[in-house]
Structure 1
Amino acid sequence: MRTPADSRADAQHLIEALPRPLPQDEGRRANAVQAGLLASGLLDRNDLGNSPAVASAVRDGLTSLAHLLDEAELGRGAGQLLLLLLAEREAFVPYPAPDHDQVRIRETATALLDLALWHADDLLRLLGGALQVHADEAHSSTRRT
């Protein structure tokens, strides 16, 4: 099982690999996000075009972003990720307002979910799966320490 530290490193690589700003064209945007997943190691080159593999990589990316948010406030990463995504969707600013790093995490999570639209039937199940993996990995990590 991966550790939260591994996931945080993957998340950082993913965030850094995505171009800023992301392309507006859906196809180019999807290609850019897949390239980011490849660069971060969350997706294998052999799995390009394999929808279940891409959906799994998206899930792992979301899990990694939740672990990255945990770094600031242990145990709150999953909730923070959901709040950031909801704020983006509903166009409100949570209090306290997200800092620069949180905004980049939100943009990355949104881009992952946009890609998932092409590869997964149920985005809520995918997001729920990511948060469950996050909880399992965080729990396993705290038991080992």
Structure 2
Amino acid sequence: MPTSPADSRADARRLIEALPRPLPRDEARRANAVQGALLASGLLDSNDLGNSPAVSAATRDGLTSLAHLLDEDAPGHGAGQLLLLLLAEHNAFTPHPAPDTLQRHARNAATALLHLALWHTDDPLRLLANALQAHAEEARDSS
């Protein structure tokens, strides 16, 4: 797990860069691509591929990292911004102002992570809540 928001932002950037665009439509290929991006970002260890608790933890850490990345443009609001972007994606609306490129990439990465979470946990929303809680704790501890 990243030790600081700065480390976390670097992990998020690596994750975003490692995700193929567009993601494969095939479920198994998509899951493999997202796990590959988690590996490339350093959030998942190669020994943990297929280990559901480890993949879930890496997914949570990835979501936390994306919230830290969004904090750069809106300090203290990255978690809320990530949640808004995910809700907008799910409900097919565009928030105002429209998301910029970084926000769209963060949303796409978060959506991919939550999709992967469906394979490794029974409660992806709890995983998201834990990620946002970790974000808040790490942001508080770093200030």
Task: Give the TM-score range, shorter chain.
Answer: over 0.9
Q: For residues 89-118 of structure 1, what are the alpha-carbon distances to aligned partners after superposition, in whole Å with 9 as ceiling and x for unaligned?
A: 000000000011110110000000000000
Deviation at 1:123, TM superposition (A): 1.1
Alignment match, 1:100: 101
> TM-score scaled to structure 2, two decimals?
0.98
> TM-score scaled to structure 1, two decimals?
0.97
Q: Which runs of 5+ in 1 are unaligned?
A: none
Deviation at 1:54, TM superposition (A): 0.1
Q: For residues 6-60 of structure 1, what are the alpha-carbon distances to aligned partners after superposition, in whole Å with 9 as ceiling and x for unaligned?
A: 0000000000001111101111000000000000000000000100000000000
Partners of 1:120 and 1:69 in 2: CA distance:
25
Alignment match, 1:113: 114
Is 1:62 aligned with 2:63? yes
Q: Which runs of 5+ in 2 are unaligned?
A: none
Alignment of 1:2-81 (within 5 A): 2-81=3-82
Which structure 1 residue ranges, 4+ long, deviate > 6 Å from structure 2? none
Identity %: 73
| Paired letter, 1:39 | A
| Paired letter, 1:114 | H
| Paired letter, 1:36 | A
Deviation at 1:124, TM superposition (A): 1.3
Partners of 2:102 and 2:22 in 1: CA distance:
15
Number of equivalenced pairs: 142
Partners of 2:121 and 2:3 in 1: CA distance:
23
